[in-house]
């Protein structure tokens, strides 16, 4: 019975370090408002299938991630060449830490009952789209390591779509 609130969203390119930032004009990296009617799917594609969703507690980050998952599921159902969206919570990564790829395969098995070999193959073939919630649920002493793990995964699996969700203050503190 609750009412959904439309969020004020904006691109904040300064939140993510870019390899070209020394060359590209800094003026191009300023926060810009996003039109309210813009879907999460449009934002995802505009960001080259890689998003960082940041916000204060309770503003709707997880709901935005779920909205995106719904749109991506519909897309994958209509086009079998599209990757399979999978929501995973980073809180479980912090218990084990290490390489993100290994954790993803283990989570697919634990949460979705996907056989390890199949999960590994999907990951290697870029057939998954990872929607990672709960960055703020990683213990603060492991958050830097978490960012490094995500960045290393991105370097090794650049074609895999990736979304990370978390509280802005936790992310900025690291």
- Model confidence pLDDT, tens digit, residues 93-148: 988 889 999 999 999 999 999 999 999 999 999 999 999 999 999 998 999 999 99
For CA atoms 96, 123, 47, 65, the dihedral sign is negative
Q: Strands 84-89, 128-133: parallel, antiparallel or unpaired by DSSP?
A: parallel
Q: What is the DSSP letter of 4?
A: P
Q: What is the pLDDT of residue 123?
A: 93
Task: Give pTM, 2 decimals.
Answer: 0.81
Q: What is the mean pLDDT of residues 39-59?
A: 87
Q: What is the pLDDT of residue 74?
A: 96
Q: What is the DSSP letter of 100?
A: H
Average pLDDT over the chain, rounded to an integer: 84
Helices (H) and strands (E) in the chain, counts: 7, 6
Helices (H), 4-159: 40-46, 61-78, 91-96, 100-112, 116-124, 143-156
Q: What is the DSSP letter of 22?
A: T
Q: Cα(6)–Cα(9) distance, rounded to whole angstroms?
A: 9
Q: Is the pLDDT of residue 10 over 80?
A: no
The C-alpha angle 105, 63, 38, rounded to 5 degrees, equals 110
Give Cβ neighbours of residue 6 (< 8 Å, ≥ 6 apart).
36
Q: Is the pLDDT of residue 166 over 60?
A: yes
Q: What is the mean pLDDT of residues 149-154?
A: 91
């Amino acid at each position: 019975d609750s009412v959904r609130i439309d969020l004020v969203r904006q691109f904040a390119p300064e939140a993510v370090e870019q390899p070209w930032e020394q060359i590209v004009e800094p003026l191009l990296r300023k926060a810009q408002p996003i039109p309210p009617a813009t879907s999460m799917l449009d934002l995802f594609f505009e960001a080259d299938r890689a998003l960082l969703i940041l916000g204060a507690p309770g503003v709707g980050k997880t709901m935005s991630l779920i909205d995106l998952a719904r749109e991506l599921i519909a897309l994958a159902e209509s086009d079998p060449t599209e990757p399979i969206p999978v929501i995973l919570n980073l809180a479980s990564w912090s218990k084990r830490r290490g390489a993100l790829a290994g954790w993803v395969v283990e989570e697919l098995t634990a949460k979705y009952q996907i056989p390890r070999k199949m999960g590994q193959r999907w990951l290697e073939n870029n057939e998954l789209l990872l929607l990672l919630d709960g960055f703020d649920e990683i213990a603060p002493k492991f958050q830097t390591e978490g960012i490094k793990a995500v960045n290393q995964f991105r370097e090794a699996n650049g074609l895999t779509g990736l979304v990370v969700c978390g509280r802005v203050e936790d992310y900025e503190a690291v």
